[in-house]
Amino acid sequence: MEASEKPQLPLDHRPDGTVRALEDRLVIERLEVSDAGAARVVRDQKAEGREPAETVTRAIEIGARVIESEGTAANVDFVNSQFERHMGSLAQELSKALESGSEELAEQIATSFGADRSGSVQQQIREMLIKANEHQRTEMVRLFNAEGGANPLSDFKASVTAKVAESAERSERQAEALRDQVGKLHAEIARLTERREGEEALAEAEEAGTRKGRSFEERVHLAIERVAEARGDCAHAVGDVPGTGGSKKGDSVVEIGGGEGSALGRIVFEIKDSQLNKPKAWSEMNGALQARDADYAILVVAGDEAIPTGGVEEMHEYQGNKLIVSVDPEEPDGRALELAYRYASLRVRVAREAAAGVDAAAVRTASSEARDAIANFKAVKSALTTATRQVERAQTGIEDIELAVIERLDRIEDAIEDAEAVQAEDD
């Protein structure tokens, strides 16, 4: 109801379309334009990525400006025609004025050169011409300065003044519209700038999150992948791939022997850079075993401080299919990860051979020896960690002793300087 009350200007009505002007908008309905050039421009712009509706809108805006410019040219032609018409009237007025001045000049000549007139003829003629010229000039100035119909250029001046005022008003409207567009453009630029800054901040936050979480997972997987390739196995990053039941537990899966043929078994790696408690760690490894249909699970944590709480030990086999190993968060390619990998692979192979009824006594013996070796590795690593801490404490003690020695030396030097000063005063 509201739309129908707005001023509407039907610009065109054709069987194949309608064009209406609604205030400051154009509404085009079912209008077909038969113009090969226009169609070609729309297709070319579309090929360059510009939408057809945007191209047509720009074409209408530019065409409107051209038509408006043609109207300005028409106004100039109108001014020229008015000038020519009034110049004709001016010529007639001037002609009359000149004729009047000529008659007056003739009378003056007749009077001046009468029988009783004396003096130089040339001088008298010159004086009369000067007076006539001054009179004509005065009349012309009075005529052009007169108001209303007495001035032959009054209509011309009025029409030119009106056209100039109209042009100035139109220019002011266009300048105001341009200022509005510039203001909107500035607002859009500010909005886009704010959006870009927000996106950059979000990207930085995501990157920081990746450095803290996913980046550690990726580094560990690359280390696992290198060990797998060297042993003829095949490693897969599956952290974002749903497993059995839709669960995404388990970050890397190794197919033992998968790089050379059919897989003999599967090891799943759960990678964490934060500390878990024992129940949560067991839940993660059991879930990974089920989701990835694996035979053995290894929990890889970022440093000793991330080893699960609750009495859990590193490099100790639990329940015959679980192992926990800590690695350097920045450089996980250490001996500990390789030993855990190889031990898990050995355990899977032994279990498969035992299930197949193969006499694997030698393999079981090697497995037991490997378990003992891992225990020794753990003990040595623990001792090394303890020794490192003791060395750090010793280093701290040495630094404290150095500071104490320096402090005492400073006191001795101050005492000597005071004694020398007193001796100098006594002398």
DSSP-assigned letters across all residues of 261-280? SS-SEEEEEEEESS--BHHH
pLDDT at 395: 73
Q: Report phi then psi at 18, rounded to 5.
A: -135, 140
Cβ contact 164:171 at 8 Å: no
Domain range annotation of the chain = 1-31, 33-150, 219-358, 371-427
Cα 331–214–204 angle (5° rounding)?
105
What pLDDT band is residue 3 in, cutting at 50, 70 and 90?
Answer: very low
Q: In what order do the strands lie in the sheet with 25-29?
A: 8-14, 17-22, 25-29
CA 284-349-297 angle, 5° bins: 5
Selected residue with higher pLDDT from 10 and 255? 255
- Least confident piece of the model among 6-10, 123-127, 204-208, 224-228: 6-10
- Compute the distance between CA of residue 337 and CA of residue 370 in angstroms, rounded to an integer: 15
What does each C-alpha distance from 68 to 62, 114, 426 come to in angstroms? 10, 68, 109
Given a contact cutoff of 8 angstroms between Cβ atoms, the answer to whether 26 and 64 are in contact is no
Distance from C-alpha of 128 to C-alpha of 107, rounded to nearest angstrom: 10
- N-to-C CA span, the chain: 116
Q: For residue 148, give the amino acid letter.
A: G
Which pLDDT does position 282 carry in this prediction?
96
d(CA 250, CA 297): 9
CB 107 within 8 A of CB 131: no
| DSSP secondary structure, 280-326, as one string | HHHHHHHHHHHHTT-SEEEEEEESGGGSPBSS--TT--BTTTEEEEE
Written as six digits, the tokens of 236 are 């897969």
Residue 6 confidence (pLDDT) above 50 = no
Tens digits of residue pLDDT in 109-160: 556 555 455 555 556 667 777 877 777 777 766 766 666 555 555 666 666 6
In the Cβ-directed half-sphere of 331, how many Cα atoms lie within 13 Å? 2
Residue bearing tokens 């729309």: 42
pLDDT at 195: 78
Which pLDDT value is given to residue 17? 72
How large is the average pLDDT for residues 364-381? 61
| 3-state SS, residue 297 | strand
Give the pairing type, strands 234-237 and 296-302.
Answer: unpaired
Q: Which one has a higher pLDDT value, 33 or 203?
A: 33
The answer on pLDDT for 322 being more than 70 is yes
User: Residue 2's pLDDT is what?
Assistant: 45
Say how many C-beta atoms besides its own lie within 10 A of residue 287's C-beta: 19
* Residues linked to residue 403 through DSSP beta bridges, in sequence order: none
Q: Is the C-alpha dihedral spanning 227, 231, 237, 238 positive or negative?
A: negative
Q: What mean pLDDT do residues 196-209 have?
A: 68
**Packing angle of the helix pair 36-47, 52-112 (nearest 10 deg):** 130
Model confidence over 28-75: pLDDT tens digits? Answer: 887 888 888 888 888 988 898 888 888 888 888 887 777 776 666 556
Cα 323–chain centre separation:
47
**Per-residue model confidence as pLDDT tens digits over 161-198:** 777 777 778 877 877 877 777 777 777 787 777 777 77
The whole-number pLDDT of residue 393 equals 73
User: What pLDDT sits at residue 1?
Assistant: 42
Q: What is the pLDDT of residues 333-350, one digit of tens each?
A: 888 898 889 889 888 887
* Class in CATH terms, 219-358: alpha beta
Distance separating alpha carbons of residues 63 and 69, to the nearest angstrom: 10
- The 10s digit of each residue's pLDDT in 239-275 is 999 998 899 999 999 999 988 888 889 999 999 999 9
pLDDT given at position 228? 94
Q: How many CA atoms lie within 13 A of 115 on its CB side?
A: 0
Residues 6 or more apart in contact with residue 139 via CB below 8 angstroms: 97, 101
Decide: 253 and 266 in contact? Cβ < 8 Å.
yes
Beta-carbon neighbour count of residue 45 at 10 Å? 17
pLDDT digits 0-9 by tens, 387-423: 666 777 777 777 777 677 677 667 767 776 777 777 7
Tell me the per-residue pLDDT of 350-372, one tens digit each, with 9 for 90 and over. Answer: 777 665 554 455 555 655 666 66
Range 200-222 average pLDDT:
71
pLDDT in the model for residue 93: 60
* Range from 58-72, 79-93, 216-230 carrying the lowest mean pLDDT: 79-93
Higher pLDDT among residues 239 and 424, named by residue: 239
